[in-house]
Each structure stands twice: as C-alpha cells, then as structure tokens.
Amino acid sequence: MPSKPFVLFFNPVRHAVPFYEKLQEVAHTEVVISQTREEFFEDLKRKYKDIFAIYRTSASGASANLMLNSSPISPQAASTSATTALLHPSLTSLHAGTFKQGLDFGHGPQAKTLGILDMGRIGHAIKKRTEPFGLTTIYHNRTPLPSEQTAGADYVPFETLLRKSDIISVNIPLTPSTKRLISASAIAVMNPGVVIINTARGDIIDEAAMADALESGAVRLDV
C-alpha cells in the first residue's frame, strides 16, 4: 500500500488545479485509464485495490462498503449567481423588447412570488441574494425546515408552489423521484407566463412538455 492515501480520479483535473496540487501533497493520485467498464472492474480488484477514495462515484459504491463523499458547496456560488443574473432579463423580456405600456412600464420583480424548489444550500443562498428585489419567497422541500434555516421563506406543498409562483427556481437533485418532475401536468397548474429558472439537472424537466409550454407562451423561460 502507498505511504499516502490512494485517490482515484475518473477524469484529468482541469479546474481547481491549485486544490488538486495540494491534495497531491498528502495523497497519491491517479486517473483511470481503463478503456471499458469490465476492464475498470478488473482494475478495481487488482491495480486499484488499495484505493482510499474515488472521485466521482455512483450509489452502487455503498453496497461495496465504499465511503462516498460529495462537494455540496462547490456549485453554490455559480448556481446562485446564474439564477439571480437570469431573473431580471427573463422578467423584463429585454431580448424580445416586449415592454409594458403606460405609467407602470416596468416588468420588475417587485411584489412577485419566487418559488424555490429545494431550500438547501443553493436555495437558501438564492433567497438571501434576492431579498433586495422585493420578492415574496416560498419554498418546497420533502419536509418543512425549521424557520431559522429558511431565511424567512414560507413552506408550501408542491402544488401550491406551482400555483402561486411567478418565478420558479429549480434546485433539486436528479433522482428517480424527481426525473421529469416538471411535467406537462405540473406546468398546467402554473401561472400563465411563469418564469422557470433551472440551474439543476436538465432531466428534472420534461423536455417535450417544456417545448410545448414555451411555444404557447405558458412558460417564459427555461434554463
């Protein structure tokens, strides 16, 4: 066994290189070179039998008594910035140039309702980042959170979030239960012209249903 922990990477590191170099000071690192799934499994038994950790793994690792880890904070800043950056242009229709007429000619977020689908780290950061916009914020999780963890957002059932939200921020992880969660039936419940900002996985939204909704104008944006 190497004197340092053996950490296996599925891909060469192209980002966060300084952190990778720091890891190399305390661990022996290698990148997988197996060409097929079968070859990789054989390498796990022999070449990589002393590994301490695998970077980028699957749920099946648990059944093999492998410790799984994640880096939940790393996408937080980027996802939060993307959501807030897209919120204003999608409401104001800057690209289309479809502006309101009359004295109240703005399409700003004031007095609108933001629905956060999953009040985790990213959802919480979005709530804090959008507070100056004058939005009313609601959220849906599998279970309600203690009030001190919601930054003032109110818990509502899933269908209520769909019905009440003018903007929906999708932040949930992709699982079998969330795949195509934003379906045609879910879109049918939403406010006409609702803005959907998806900084999570694409498969959470039913692509065909979203295309139909965008074509009809029922939904104004999907990212």
Match domain 76-221 to its CATH number in 3.40.50.720, 1.20.140.10, 3.90.1150.10, 3.90.1640.30: 3.40.50.720
Res. 104 pLDDT band, cuts 50 70 90: very low
Give the SS3 label for residue 2: coil
13-70 pLDDT tens trace: 887 788 888 988 998 888 888 888 888 888 888 888 777 666 554 555 555 565 555 5
Which sequence spans correspond to the domains of the chain? 6-64, 76-221
pLDDT value of residue 96: 47
- Torsion angle defined by CA atoms of residues 124, 126, 127 and 132, in that order, rounded to the nearest 10 degrees: 150
pLDDT value of residue 72: 56
Please report how many Cα atoms fall inside a 13 Å half-sphere around the Cα of residue 162, on the Cβ side. Answer: 15
**pTM of model > 0.75:** no
Of the candidates 165, 215, 206, 156, the one whose C-alpha atom is nearest the C-alpha of residue 185 is: 206
H helices present in the chain, as ranges = 17-26, 37-45, 76-92, 121-129, 158-164, 184-189, 207-216
pLDDT value of residue 157: 97
Q: What percent of the chain has pLDDT over 70?
A: 72
